Structure 1
Amino acid sequence: MLRKGLLFTFLISVLVLAACGQSDTKWDEVQEAGEIVAGTSGTLIAASYYTEEDELTGYDVEVMREIASRLDLEVKFEIMGIDSMLPALDSRIDVAVNDIEATDKRKEKFNFSDPYKYSYSTMVVREDDYSGINSLEDLEGKKAGGGATTIYSQIAEHFGAEVVTYGNAPNEAYLSDVNTGRTDVIVNDYYLSKFGVGAFPDFDIMLHPNLKFHPTEQAVVMPKDATKLQEKINEVLAEMREDGTLTELAKQFYGEDASQRPEGEIEEIEGLDL
């Protein structure tokens, strides 16, 4: 009986050690390579985009560069569409940084860092008539431009909109379609929408002035078992928050401190399974 008890204890210990070993694998791989591979789109103005000189930059990109630098790692960015980014964590990339919201459902499949950005959702609509939208319920029957797997498309569908999907298209394609009437609305992050609209002043589009909903937290995404990597990234993000680096980068790219929770009343949406 004693022998069985010792054997059971030994097996439990082996399983625990194996689990710990698995959780450290990603960090060991990254350290050995001296490089962390980050998936991003390169198409989100202010978050991840290319300058006129064809240089990749943006808030998410520069936050990731700073994280890698403080971990004594190089960073390599893999450009891909948002719909393929999370699946790529199983093979092609180590982390994903693309204004990705940390939701309960996603946390079941992936590890997330502490948030480096806080925001909420709003809509891009036509300026002349708000695209006939004055409430979330008015999304019913409208055409909403968006990625197939984004939270914003799920919100649009939740209220009855038809989602028109894109590949890894630039902001201009989404915004132009609202302008021309091919679509009616884009449900998206406040900061990204603000800079997207500002980049195309000749389009008949604007941020909806009255709709603020679905508060969000954006974070670095990594494989589910990458607990050591998660711990290391969180340590660096805490340093960056403490020394003001996150605030500085947020103001550089957004003109506001997106690293802090936004003020004001933001409507929560009931019944979403995100």
Structure 2
Amino acid sequence: MKKILAMVLFMGVVVLSACSEETTLYDEITEEGVLTVATSGTLIAASYYNDQDELTGFDVEVAREVGRRLGVDVKFEIMSVDGMLPAVDTGRVDLAANDFSATKNRKETFTFSEPYKYSYSTMVVRKSDYSGVRSLEDLAGKINGGGETTISSEIARHFGAEVRTYGNASNEAYLRDVSIGRTDVVVNDYYLIKFGVAAFPDFDIMMHPDLKFHPTEQALVMKKGETALEEAVNEALQAMRDDGTLSDIAIEFYGEDASEQTEADVEIIEGLDI
């Protein structure tokens, strides 16, 4: 009986030891020396290719700096925004960095880092007629260009707009469609709209001068439950904030410090379930 009890206790110790040594995603990243990050490469100022055909942008450079501080290389996987969260969930990539807003519903399925950007939503409209949109309620019946699963598209639908979806299309495709009347608006982040509109001065488009709504916090997206990776990423981001690197990257790409809370007077949308 004593031998049986001893064997049971020994097996329990072995099982507990194996559980305590279970490899985490962060262990795999540090062992391989590579952090894999999903991004679009089509989002001006956030994730795009410059004139030298190099991938850059605010989110791209934040992810690169996080990787550097973790002591690993960063490998970017280019894909559509609608494919990024599934890629994180299945383990195809370790992080997603593409101006993702940390929302209540998303946090139920994914882990988000601490915010590294604060902003709000507005929209692209035609300069000639505001696309017929003077208030959010005027979105009813309009056509919004956007990704199927984005928060911006959810806002447009909330007010009765139809959403015309694109693949991993460039800013130019979205904005030209508004200019020529194929769509009416593009609801999106203030900073992204500001630089997207500025890149195409010949288009009949502008950032809506009056509508500011839905304050946002952008963060890196990770698989749920990867606590070690979450802690390491947050430590890197905090160090970047403390030494001014995060502010420097924001100012480089946005012309202002998007890493700090916005002081704009932003409308809260009631009843928006995101």
List alignment gaps of at least 5 residues for structure 2. Answer: 1-7
Q: How does 1:175-190 map to 2 (within 5 A)?
A: 175-190=175-190
Structural mapping, 1:92-111, within 5 Å: 92-111=92-111
State the partner residue of 1:228: 228
Does residue 212 of the first structure (1) align with residue 203 of the second (2)? no
Matches within 5 A, 1:1-274: 18=19, 25-89=24-88, 90-274=90-274
Q: Distance in 2 between matches of 1:180 and 1:219?
A: 34
SS in 2 for 1:86: helix
User: Within 1, Cα distance between the matches of 2:262 and 2:272?
Assistant: 21
Report the alpha carbon displacement of residue 179 of structure 1 after superposing the two structures with TM. Answer: 0.2
- Please name the residue that 2:3 is paired with: none
Deviation at 1:21, TM superposition (A): 6.4
Look up the match of 1:4.
Answer: none
In structure 1, what is the Cα distance between the partners aligned to 2:252 and 2:268?
Answer: 29
User: Alpha-carbon deviations, 1:171-218, whole Å to 9, x = none?
Assistant: 000000000000000000000000000000000100000000000000
Aligned partner of residue 177 in structure 1, secondary structure:
helix
> Larger deviation: 262-271 or 158-167?
262-271
Give every structure 1 segment of 4 or more consecutive aligned residues whose post-TM-superposition deviation is greater than 2 Å: none
Between the aligned partners of 1:82 and 1:121, the Cα distance in structure 2 is 17
Give the secondary-structure state (helix, strand or coil) at the position aligned to 1:100. coil
Name the count of aligned residue pairs: 261
1:272 offset after TM fit, Å? 1.1
Corresponding residue SS for 1:36:
strand
Deviation at 1:264, TM superposition (A): 2.4
- Give SS of 1:137's match: helix
Distance 2:264 2:142 in 1: 28
CA distance in 2: counterparts of 1:201 and 1:216, whole angstroms? 27
| Cα distance per residue 1:119-175 (max 9 Å; x no partner) | 000010000111010100000000000000000000000000000000000000000
- Could you say what secondary structure the match of 1:259 adopts? coil
Aligned-residue offset at 1:91:
2.7
* Aligned AA (1:130): Y
AA in 1 matched with 2:212: K
Query: Which amino acid in 1 is paired with 2:178?
Result: V
Query: Equivalent residue of 2:51, what SS?
Result: coil
Residue type at the aligned position of 1:196? G
Root mean square deviation of aligned Cα: 1.7
Identity, % of aligned positions: 65
Tell me the alpha carbon deviations over residues 65-116 of structure 1, each in whole angstroms, 9 at most, x when there is no partner.
1100011000000000000000001131000000000001111111110001
* Deviation string, structure 1 residues 6-44 (Cα, Å, up to 9, x no partner): x9xxx9xx89x95x766x611111011111000000000
Distance in 2 between residues matched to 1:164 and 1:193, nearest whole Å? 18
